């Protein structure tokens, strides 16, 4: 009855862009769904502040690194509020507790003999803060940042990643360790076709970052430090949260850092005597005109500005419906408006408002006895089957198909309402009219529950209009009868005019 979900932690060398928003929303949908099922959830997000790119950006801005980092962290914290993200903790890797735990784990792995001092010579991408091989390059450039890496030669500490090759392969052969399977197969293919090389885990002569506990001339390499946030946030090794929530149920990450999470991270954990996470959930990139949105490429869209023009629920819905998990997706304001107008407004909002306003008008704001005729029995079976499928879609992180079937339930409600013509029925058979409205109201209740992980503001408004609180998944099976409702209000309005 516990569930631990995390996002990757974000570099703070610039303001967040819409790609950051996408990952946080996906993780939030997972967290909200698990809470809806009655699980105790710990949801972690945060910022990666020890990276050299943060220090370099601060230098370019003419601001001390700490002041620069503190300023930009605020933007990422604000983003969680703007998007209605329900995270339980926001970790910063400059926190003293994280620093101590990172040094603790580094020392533990060192004492085991899995870290040794050596000499590194090779290619280094400053954007990735990662060492690359010739095989990693495309036309001589880092595929992520479209820049050639710099040759680097320096003394360094190395982690014996190669020692854990067989154990990592065994993990990757599990169908649930990396989702989707295409991303798991990429890691398996890479690890099997190319000898797993030991990993450089330090940088020398830097003035920003976490000191190696046995050698103050070196800083812990940012990826070794950053990955540890997932356990330092739980107060590893003796914290109550660590004992309660570890291993993580889902690390939600972008495909560009799959290797670090699916290969390096579990090897680090095994070396330190910590259980690996259960699942790495890998999403694709958002694009604009087919180009990845990133700070370094300059294709930025500010999610805060989008929410100002539209609503957080609009953007959350677009992410979940438009982009299949694991695949890239293109952001378009026009497509966002089309989704809102043709699905949220024309289907969901239209049905909910008509039902609840008619109950206000024709049933004294009271949900009474539910109609239970042959048509209703048939529709209930259809709805129950779709709810089973929606539950499975949520469990499988298939939010797109979950929404598709939720919309089909909305269609059922609209057809039922229109087919019964309650505006006519109230004149000829008021009792039957009220039963029809009660049946419709129960579909409204179900829609609020089913959409709660994706568009929580909508769900909260429906609950208020139904005069209910904190609906759970189990309430899908509980008929709502003999209950007084609140005042009906329009839930979504059509996006008018030109969108950009």
Gap between the Cα atoms of 107 and 20, Å rounded: 32
The DSSP secondary-structure symbol of 46 reads E
CB contact at 8 A, 252 and 5: yes
Q: Which of 24, 53, 98, 295 is catalytic?
A: 295
- The sign of the torsion formed by the CA atoms of 167, 173, 179, 185 equals positive
Q: Which is nearest to 473 in space by CA: 36, 34, 33, 32?
A: 36
CB contact at 8 A, 399 and 320: yes
Angle at 426 between CA 425 and CA 431, to 5 degrees: 95
Q: Which of 219, 251, 292, 452 is catalytic?
A: 292
46 DSSP β-pair partners: 91
Greatest Cα-to-Cα distance within the chain, rounded to the nearest angstrom? 89
Annotation marks residue 393 as catalytic: no
Annotation marks residue 483 as catalytic: no
Annotation marks residue 98 as catalytic: no
CA dihedral 55, 61, 67, 71 (to 10 degrees): -110
Gap between the Cα atoms of 427 and 415, Å rounded: 20
Annotation marks residue 200 as catalytic: no
Annotation marks residue 314 as catalytic: no
Q: Which is nearest to 109 in space by CA: 199, 19, 41?
A: 199
Q: Which of 15, 53, 98, 128 is catalytic?
A: 128
Q: Which is nearest to 5 in space by CA: 354, 350, 250?
A: 250
CB contact at 8 A, 131 and 200: yes
Angle at 130 between CA 102 and CA 249, to 5 degrees: 55
Q: Which of 53, 98, 145, 283 is catalytic?
A: 145
Q: Which of 17, 219, 261, 386 is catalytic?
A: 17
Gap between the Cα atoms of 183 and 178, Å rounded: 7
Q: Which of 15, 20, 98, 314 is catalytic?
A: 20
Q: Which of 98, 142, 218, 433 is catalytic?
A: 142
Residues 6+ apart with CB under 8 A from 413: 351, 355, 440, 443, 444, 447
Q: Which of 53, 98, 125, 352 is catalytic?
A: 125
Q: Which is nearest to 222 in space by CA: 50, 391, 71?
A: 50
CB contact at 8 A, 358 and 314: no
Cis peptide before 247, with omega less than 30 degrees from 0? yes
Q: Which is nearest to 208 in space by CA: 92, 101, 94, 106?
A: 94
Q: Which is nearest to 403 in space by CA: 476, 357, 339?
A: 339
Roughly how many angstroms between the first and final C-alpha of the chain, as a whole number?
44
The DSSP secondary-structure symbol of 138 reads B
Gap between the Cα atoms of 248 and 486, Å rounded: 40
Integer angstrom CA distances of residue 256 from 44, 130, 147, 285:
20, 12, 15, 9
Annotation marks residue 445 as catalytic: no
Q: Which is nearest to 435 in space by CA: 348, 350, 373?
A: 373
- Pairing mode, if any, of strands 2-7 and 40-48? parallel
Residue positions annotated with a catalytic role:
17, 20, 125, 128, 142, 145, 292, 295
């Amino acid at each position: 009855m516990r569930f631990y979900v995390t996002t990757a932690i974000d570099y703070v060398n610039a303001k967040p862009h819409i790609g950051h928003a996408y990952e946080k929303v996906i993780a939030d949908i997972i967290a909200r769904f698990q809470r809806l099922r009655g699980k105790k959830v710990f949801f972690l997000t945060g910022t990666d502040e020890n990276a050299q790119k943060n220090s370099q950006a601060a230098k370019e801005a003419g601001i001390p690194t700490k002041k620069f980092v503190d300023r930009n962290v605020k933007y990422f914290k604000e983003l969680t509020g703007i998007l209605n993200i329900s995270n339980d903790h926001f970790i910063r890797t400059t926190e003293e507790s994280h620093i101590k735990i990172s040094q603790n784990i580094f020392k533990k792995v060192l004492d085991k003999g899995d870290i040794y001092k050596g000499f590194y010579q090779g290619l280094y991408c400053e954007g990735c803060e990662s060492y690359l091989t010739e095989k990693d390059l495309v036309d001589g450039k880092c595929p992520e940042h479209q820049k050639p890496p710099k040759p680097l030669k320096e003394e360094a500490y190395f982690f014996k990643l190669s020692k854990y090759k067989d154990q990592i392969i065994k993990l990757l052969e599990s169908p649930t360790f990396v989702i989707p399977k295409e991303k798991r197969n990429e890691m398996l293919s890479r690890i099997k076709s190319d000898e797993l090389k030991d990993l450089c885990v330090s940088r020398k002569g830097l003035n920003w970052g976490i000191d190696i506990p046995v050698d103050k001339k070196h800083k812990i390499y940012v990826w070794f430090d950053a990955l540890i946030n997932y356990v330092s946030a739980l107060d590893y090794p003796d914290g109550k949260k660590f004992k309660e929530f570890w291993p993580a149920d889902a690390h939600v990450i972008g495909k560009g850092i799959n290797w670090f999470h699916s290969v390096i991270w579990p090897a680090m954990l095994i070396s330190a005597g910590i259980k690996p996470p259960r699942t790495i959930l890998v999403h694709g990139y958002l694009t604009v005109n087919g180009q990845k949105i990133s700070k370094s490429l300059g294709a930025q869209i500010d999610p805060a500005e989008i929410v100002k023009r539209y609503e957080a629920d609009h953007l959350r819905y677009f992410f979940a419906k438009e982009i299949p998990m694991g695949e890239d997706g293109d952001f378009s304001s026009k497509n966002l408006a089309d989704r809102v107008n043709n699905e949220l407004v024309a289907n969901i909002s239209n049905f909910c408002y008509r039902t609840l306003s008619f109950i206000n008008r024709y049933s004294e704001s009271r949900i009474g006895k539910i109609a239970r005729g042959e048509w209703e029995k048939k529709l209930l079976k259809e709805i129950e089957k779709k709810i089973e499928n929606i539950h499975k879609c949520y469990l499988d992180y298939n939010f797109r198909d979950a929404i598709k079937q939720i919309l089909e339930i909305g269609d059922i409600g609209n057809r039922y309402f229109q087919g019964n013509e309650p505006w006519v029925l109230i004149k000829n058979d008021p009792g039957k009219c009220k039963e029809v409205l009660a049946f419709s109201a129960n579909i409204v209740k179900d829609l609020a529950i089913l959409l709660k992980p994706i568009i929580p503001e909508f769900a909260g408004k429906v609950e208020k209009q139904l005069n209910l609180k904190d609906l759970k998944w189990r309430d899908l099976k509980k008929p709502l009868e003999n209950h007084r409702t609140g005042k009906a209000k329009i839930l979504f309005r059509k996006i008018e005019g030109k969108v950009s």
